[in-house]
Amino acid sequence: MTTEPDTARRTGAYRAHGNEPALFEHAFHRGAPVMLTGPTGCGKTRFVEHMAATLRRPLVTVSCHDDLTSSDLVGRFMVTGGDVVWTDGPLTRAVKAGAICYLDEVVEARHDSLAVLHSLTDHRRTLYLDRAGEIVTAPDTFMLVCSYNPAYRGSLKELKPSFRQRFVTLAMTYLPPAAEAETVATETGVPLAVAQRLVRCANAVRAADRAFHFEPPSTRVLVTAAHLIVSGATEFEAAEACVLAPLSTDGAITDGLREIAAAAL
């Protein structure tokens, strides 16, 4: 598990896909938790960082994984200097601080670890710290945000429908090509024409993905490729190393994709 400092970080700009910033704000003001869905690297984290800054709330991020326990979220007793003291976990700290708590890839966590969220995600907006004997009611400014990638084919995990229905769900995807290219150019300083070629290449591979069934190249990999190009790599080198090579370990598939990508560059 990783957590970030309890302050809204300065981040780069966020380019909205549609009405998701307004919907997020409505949810925030109504005390409703939000679930962000969409492929990896499509901007979910950047969006949450942007909204935390917009709403002037601290952001606490937890990267979920299958060993995550409810104690990792709410806290545990720890021995410090011979004393046994209760130490709040990131979720408890976020509730007490009225922060936005972002559980990234929540589908990775075990269902029983998430049970602690139930009382936080309904009208009670309350965290029950059974072991510490404490009940913490969330202030109006606390918000729970989760994300997951429902199409991730390497994972057999799914969230329970009853859990999903506790959230306002904002479905995200890649930006339209012109906006994605502008984002890659703005993020990296690469000329717009180069960013447009990278996006064309990614979209050609994304279209092929419907037949090949792998996790398609994300905006994140295009940003990384553009950074390499700014550093002096050629477009082919950057596309190969950042866009194509991570997709598949099957040489025949990569060869096929290389042809598709080369035609777009």
Q: Which is nearer to ligand ADP, 92 or 219 (CB)?
A: 219
Q: Output b/e per residue, 196-212; b: 16+ Cβ within 10 A.
A: bbbbbbbbbbeebbeee
Three-class SS of 154-205: CCCCCCCHHHHCCCEEEECCCCCHHHHHHHHHHHHCCCHHHHHHHHHHHHHH
Residue 113: CB atoms within 10 A of its CB come to 20
Is residue 57 near ligand ADP by the rule CB under 6 A?
Answer: no
Q: How far is the CB of 227 from ligand ADP (least distance, A)?
A: 10
138 vs 184 by CB, closer to ligand ADP: 184
**Of 24, 33, 37, 43, which lies in the binding site for ligand ADP, with binding defined by CB under 6 A?**
43
Instruction: Name the segment binding ligand ADP (CB under 6 A); options: 8-16, 154-162, 227-235, 244-252.
Output: 8-16
* Beta strand pairing call for 83-88 and 75-80: antiparallel
157 binding ligand ADP? (CB under 6 A) = no
Cα–Cα dist 170/50, whole Å? 15
- The interface region with ligand ADP, picked from 35-43, 70-78, 208-216, 246-254 by CB under 6 A, is 35-43
Q: Would you say 43 or 216 has its CB closer to ligand ADP? A: 43
* Count of residues in contact with ligand ADP, rule CB under 6 A: 16
Per CB under 6 A, contacts with ligand ADP among 187-226 are 187, 219-220, 223
- Distance, in Å, from the CA atom of 116 to the CA atom of 118, rounded to the nearest integer, reads 6
- State the nearest-atom distance from the C-beta of 225 to ligand ADP, in Å: 12
Residue 44 engages ligand ADP in binding (rule: CB under 6 A): yes
Angstrom distances, CA of residue 136 to CA of 57, 97, 102, 119, 120: 19, 11, 18, 11, 10
* CA separation, residue 119 to residues 67, 109, 125, 141, 166 (Å): 22, 18, 6, 16, 10
Query: 3-state SS string over 81-137?
Result: CCEEEEEECHHHHHHHHCCEEEEECHHHCCHHHHHHHHHHCCCCCEEEECCCCEEEE
Segment lying near ligand ADP (by CB under 6 A), choices 12-20, 127-135, 138-146, 153-161: 12-20
Q: How far is the CB of 36 from ligand ADP (least distance, A)?
A: 8
Residue 98: left if φ>0, alpha if ψ -120 to 50, beta else—which one?
left
Residue 14 near ligand ADP by CB under 6 A: yes
Under the criterion CB under 6 A, does residue 102 sit at the interface with ligand ADP?
A: no
Instruction: Considering the complex, state which of residue 138 and residue 143 has its C-beta at the smaller distance from ligand ADP.
Output: 143
Give the residue, chosen from 183, 185, 195, 209, that forms a contact with ligand ADP under the rule CB under 6 A: 183
User: Binding ligand ADP by CB under 6 A: which of 28, 34, 41, 244?
Assistant: 41
CB of 13 to ligand ADP, least distance (A): 6
61 touching ligand ADP, by CB under 6 A: no
Tokens of 191: 């000329």
Interacting residue ranges for ligand ADP, rule: CB under 6 A? 13-15, 40-46, 175, 183, 187, 219-220, 223
